[in-house]
Amino acid sequence: MVKSDEEMVVEKQKQQSAPPKLTKEEKARSKVDIKVAKKAAKKEKKVEKRKHEAVDGEGKLVNKDATKGVDPEIYEEYHRQKAAVKLQEYQQRKEAKVTKKYGEGAEQNGEETSETKEEKKIIEPSVMEAYKKEKYAWKKEKRQQKADEKVEKKKMKYDEKAEKKVEKKKEKAEKKVEKEGAERGVEGEGAEDIAVREKLKAEMKADQYKAKKEQKMENKNAKYDQKLENAVVKAQQKAGEGEDREKGGEKEKEKEEEAAMED
């Protein structure tokens, strides 16, 4: 059936108004964008949940364990910046795969990819330091509580053992007194002497255990101090690299402008 001129005009208009079909590469890049957006929303939701658990209706901190001992505002800012860094890295990895699969893509057409046009995200050193310091103080407090509980438990165990020993030795001493009619008990000791000696032994054991735990705590704290220092230095270096890249970009731009003027 031959189409009339009017029908052909209408069909042509429809074709012109229809959105252009996406290439496979464009579809793949679009999927990456959707994945990144979903991940970003998920991370934001998680941080909001933690922040909400940490404060009451008036915004007062009531549960510092929810934000690992960190002020909710600092917690939110740190994780917002951390998520931006991680998502940028994720997006670049995924886009690199797309580029590898479909050829040079956008770069081949003289366009800039997100890797080249987007500035590298970093966690600000001041935010990193504030977050790590507060989290460390909280961890230290938690570790101390745990260690104190263990020491108390051991002390009770040693006391209990000592009491049982004293009772046993008292019985033995009393039997010996009855049998021999002597005034002294086992190995020439009276019941009170036995009690004092066993109590001292239990206390000494508890003190030794406590000293051992405290030394272990000191070693852990020293390691974490070093870890904190390294994290802050690393963040400062990254911030410095960002500034250098920015300055380098400005210098390149100046050179290009000078060259253009000479031409």
68 in any annotated domain: yes
pLDDT (tens digit, 9 = 90+) per residue, 22-46?
Answer: 788 888 888 889 998 999 899 888 8
8 Å CB contact between 91 and 36 = yes
- What pLDDT, on the 0 to 100 scale, is given for residue 168? 76
Res 219 pLDDT > 50: yes
Range of the domain at 103: 24-107
d(CA 204, CA 123): 49
42 in any annotated domain: yes
- What pLDDT, on the 0 to 100 scale, is given for residue 112? 44
Match 């006391």 to its residue by tokens. Answer: 159
228 in any annotated domain: no
Burial 139-153 (b: 16+ CB within 10 A, else e): ebeebeeebeeebee
Nearest 5°: the CA angle 96, 100, 102 is 115
Q: What's the pTM value of the predicted model, to 2 decimals?
A: 0.57
pLDDT (tens digit, 9 = 90+) per residue, 183-212?
Answer: 444 445 566 776 777 778 878 888 888 888
What mean pLDDT value characterizes the chain?
Answer: 76
37 in any annotated domain: yes
57 in any annotated domain: yes
- Of 122-131, 183-192, 226-235, give the range with the top mean pLDDT: 122-131
- For the chain, what is the domain count? 1
Confidence grade of residue 250 (pLDDT, cut at 50, 70, 90): low
173 in any annotated domain: no
Res 247 pLDDT > 60: no
Q: Which residues contact 30 (CB under 8 A, 6 or more apart)?
A: 22
Res 16 pLDDT > 80: no
199 in any annotated domain: no
pLDDT (tens digit, 9 = 90+) per residue, 77-104?
Answer: 999 999 999 999 999 999 898 888 887 5
Burial, 44: exposed, middle or buried (Cβ in 10 Å; 0-12, 13-18, 19+)? middle
41 in any annotated domain: yes
Query: Which residue has better confidence, 257 or 227?
Result: 227
